Amino acid sequence: MANTEASLKEALTTIDGAIGAALVDYTSGMALGTVGGGKDLDLTVAAAGNTDVVRAKVRTLELLGLKDEIEDILITLGGQYHMIRLLKGRGNNGLFLYLALDRTRANLAMARHQLSGIEAALEV
Protein backbone atom coordinates (compact mmCIF):
# COMPACT_ATOMS: atom_id res chain seq x y z
CA MET A 1 0.00 0.00 0.00
CA ALA A 2 1.31 3.42 -0.98
CA ASN A 3 0.67 6.71 0.78
CA THR A 4 -0.80 9.77 -0.91
CA GLU A 5 2.48 11.51 -1.72
CA ALA A 6 4.10 8.38 -3.17
CA SER A 7 1.00 7.57 -5.24
CA LEU A 8 0.77 11.07 -6.70
CA LYS A 9 4.49 11.09 -7.52
CA GLU A 10 4.11 7.70 -9.19
CA ALA A 11 1.28 9.05 -11.34
CA LEU A 12 3.35 12.04 -12.39
CA THR A 13 6.50 10.06 -13.19
CA THR A 14 5.08 6.90 -14.74
CA ILE A 15 2.07 8.07 -16.75
CA ASP A 16 3.14 9.50 -20.11
CA GLY A 17 2.05 13.09 -20.53
CA ALA A 18 1.09 13.65 -16.87
CA ILE A 19 1.44 17.30 -15.89
CA GLY A 20 -0.32 17.32 -12.52
CA ALA A 21 -2.06 15.05 -10.06
CA ALA A 22 -4.08 15.52 -6.89
CA LEU A 23 -6.03 13.58 -4.30
CA VAL A 24 -9.24 15.49 -3.60
CA ASP A 25 -11.97 15.29 -0.97
CA TYR A 26 -15.14 16.08 -2.88
CA THR A 27 -17.19 16.64 0.26
CA SER A 28 -15.08 19.74 1.01
CA GLY A 29 -13.42 20.47 -2.35
CA MET A 30 -9.99 20.46 -0.74
CA ALA A 31 -6.89 18.91 -2.26
CA LEU A 32 -5.35 16.49 0.24
CA GLY A 33 -2.17 16.30 -1.81
CA THR A 34 -0.83 17.63 -5.10
CA VAL A 35 2.18 17.14 -7.38
CA GLY A 36 3.06 18.95 -10.58
CA GLY A 37 0.91 21.66 -12.04
CA GLY A 38 2.43 25.11 -12.31
CA LYS A 39 1.52 28.59 -13.52
CA ASP A 40 -0.77 27.17 -16.22
CA LEU A 41 -2.39 24.56 -13.97
CA ASP A 42 -3.29 25.54 -10.41
CA LEU A 43 -4.14 22.19 -8.84
CA THR A 44 -5.92 23.77 -5.87
CA VAL A 45 -8.32 25.58 -8.21
CA ALA A 46 -8.67 22.43 -10.33
CA ALA A 47 -9.50 20.37 -7.23
CA ALA A 48 -12.27 22.76 -6.20
CA GLY A 49 -13.69 23.05 -9.71
CA ASN A 50 -13.67 19.32 -10.38
CA THR A 51 -15.42 18.76 -7.07
CA ASP A 52 -18.42 20.51 -8.62
CA VAL A 53 -18.22 18.15 -11.61
CA VAL A 54 -18.20 15.07 -9.37
CA ARG A 55 -21.04 16.33 -7.19
CA ALA A 56 -23.16 17.10 -10.26
CA LYS A 57 -22.63 13.64 -11.73
CA VAL A 58 -23.34 11.88 -8.42
CA ARG A 59 -26.52 13.93 -8.04
CA THR A 60 -27.55 13.11 -11.62
CA LEU A 61 -27.14 9.37 -11.02
CA GLU A 62 -29.32 9.70 -7.91
CA LEU A 63 -32.01 11.65 -9.79
CA LEU A 64 -32.03 9.04 -12.55
CA GLY A 65 -32.31 6.27 -9.98
CA LEU A 66 -29.27 4.49 -11.40
CA LYS A 67 -27.78 1.98 -8.99
CA ASP A 68 -24.30 2.22 -10.42
CA GLU A 69 -20.92 3.70 -9.51
CA ILE A 70 -18.79 6.24 -11.33
CA GLU A 71 -15.41 4.78 -12.26
CA ASP A 72 -13.96 7.86 -13.86
CA ILE A 73 -14.87 11.08 -15.60
CA LEU A 74 -12.92 12.38 -18.59
CA ILE A 75 -12.84 16.00 -19.72
CA THR A 76 -11.13 16.68 -23.03
CA LEU A 77 -9.71 20.09 -23.80
CA GLY A 78 -7.88 21.27 -26.89
CA GLY A 79 -4.48 20.58 -25.37
CA GLN A 80 -5.18 18.51 -22.27
CA TYR A 81 -7.10 15.61 -20.84
CA HIS A 82 -8.44 15.90 -17.29
CA MET A 83 -9.22 12.56 -15.69
CA ILE A 84 -11.15 12.15 -12.45
CA ARG A 85 -11.09 8.70 -10.81
CA LEU A 86 -13.34 8.14 -7.79
CA LEU A 87 -11.78 6.01 -5.07
CA LYS A 88 -13.67 2.95 -3.96
CA GLY A 89 -13.52 0.71 -0.93
CA ARG A 90 -11.55 0.83 2.30
CA GLY A 91 -13.50 3.85 3.56
CA ASN A 92 -12.47 6.08 0.66
CA ASN A 93 -15.94 7.46 -0.08
CA GLY A 94 -15.77 11.12 -0.96
CA LEU A 95 -12.28 11.03 -2.49
CA PHE A 96 -11.06 11.17 -6.07
CA LEU A 97 -7.77 11.16 -7.92
CA TYR A 98 -7.38 13.97 -10.43
CA LEU A 99 -4.89 13.69 -13.27
CA ALA A 100 -4.11 16.32 -15.90
CA LEU A 101 -2.40 15.12 -19.07
CA ASP A 102 -0.75 16.81 -22.03
CA ARG A 103 -2.93 15.62 -24.88
CA THR A 104 -0.05 15.45 -27.38
CA ARG A 105 2.00 13.08 -25.20
CA ALA A 106 -0.65 11.02 -23.42
CA ASN A 107 -2.09 7.62 -24.26
CA LEU A 108 -5.54 7.89 -22.74
CA ALA A 109 -6.19 4.14 -22.44
CA MET A 110 -2.83 3.52 -20.78
CA ALA A 111 -3.25 6.51 -18.45
CA ARG A 112 -6.64 5.19 -17.34
CA HIS A 113 -5.20 1.72 -16.77
CA GLN A 114 -2.20 3.04 -14.82
CA LEU A 115 -4.33 5.37 -12.69
CA SER A 116 -6.55 2.42 -11.81
CA GLY A 117 -3.49 0.53 -10.55
CA ILE A 118 -2.33 3.52 -8.52
CA GLU A 119 -5.82 3.78 -7.00
CA ALA A 120 -5.75 0.11 -6.00
CA ALA A 121 -2.42 0.54 -4.19
CA LEU A 122 -3.29 3.84 -2.49
CA GLU A 123 -3.69 3.79 1.27
CA VAL A 124 -5.42 6.92 2.58
pLDDT in tens, the chain (124 residues): 569 999 999 999 999 999 999 999 998 999 999 999 988 899 999 999 999 999 999 999 999 999 888 999 999 999 999 999 999 865 557 899 999 999 999 999 999 999 999 998 888 7
Residue type, 53: V
- Phi, psi (degrees; rounded to nearest 5) at 58: -60, -45
State residue 91's pLDDT score. Answer: 54
What does the alpha-carbon distance between residue 61 and residue 45 come to, in Å, rounded to a whole number? 25
Residue-wise pLDDT tens digits, 62-95:
999 998 889 999 999 999 999 999 998 655 578 9
pLDDT at 66: 93
Three-class HEC string of the chain: CECHHHHHHHHHHHCCCEEEEEEEECCCCEEEEEEECECCECHHHHHHHHHHHHHHHHHHHHHHCCCCCCCEEEEECCCEEEEEEECCCCCCCCEEEEEEEECCCCCHHHHHHHHHHHHHHECC
